[in-house]
Every structure is written in structure tokens, then in C-alpha cells.
Amino acid sequence: MKSVKMHEAKSTLSALVRDVSTGVEPEVLICIAGRAAARLVPVDRAPKRALGVDRGLISIAPDFDAVNLDITRLFEGV
């Protein structure tokens, strides 16, 4: 874990963010007067979802997109 003073953090913020976001540094502590004041950590990313996990659990009726005459009549005012 890297620790930097506030002045250094202000002048090298882009590099610090890059290092944390790419995993070079797991986190960076920003200190004021020798005491930790803030922690720079990467944003948690959602894990990739596997395709096909629910395969076989869901079924769709063959006519799910068929025209519903009752709804059509309501729209057409017939």
C-alpha cells in the first residue's frame, strides 16, 4: 500500500488513479500532516455474467408475439 502526502497526491493524481485502476497499487493512502486522510481504491466492477445460466428454466409460448385482437380493437375504437 502506497502512502503519499496531499501535495504529491494533487500533483500526481492522474498517475495515482491509473496505478490503482490497473492494479499496480491495490490502494493509495493520502496523508495530511502525517496522518491518513483519504484512501484511493479501485471501483468494484460487477463480475461478468455467464451466458446460458438459465437455459431450460424459462419457456416462451410460440405465439407470444401474436396480435391480440381485443387490444387491437381497443386501440382502433371498434
Domain spans, the chain: 2-40
Read off φ and ψ for residue 26, nearest 5 degrees. -70, -35
What pairing do the DSSP bridges indicate for beta strands 2-5 and 35-40? unpaired
* CA end-to-end distance (rounded Å), the chain: 72
DSSP letter at 66 equals S
pTM > 0.75: yes or no: no
Task: Give the pLDDT confidence score for residue 12 in this predicted structure.
Answer: 97
Residue 56 gets the label, from left (phi > 0), alpha (psi -120 to 50) or beta, of left
User: Cα–Cα distance between 29 and 5 in angstroms, integer?
Assistant: 8
pLDDT digits (tens, 9 = 90+) for 13-61: 999 999 999 999 999 999 999 999 999 999 987 788 888 888 889 888 8
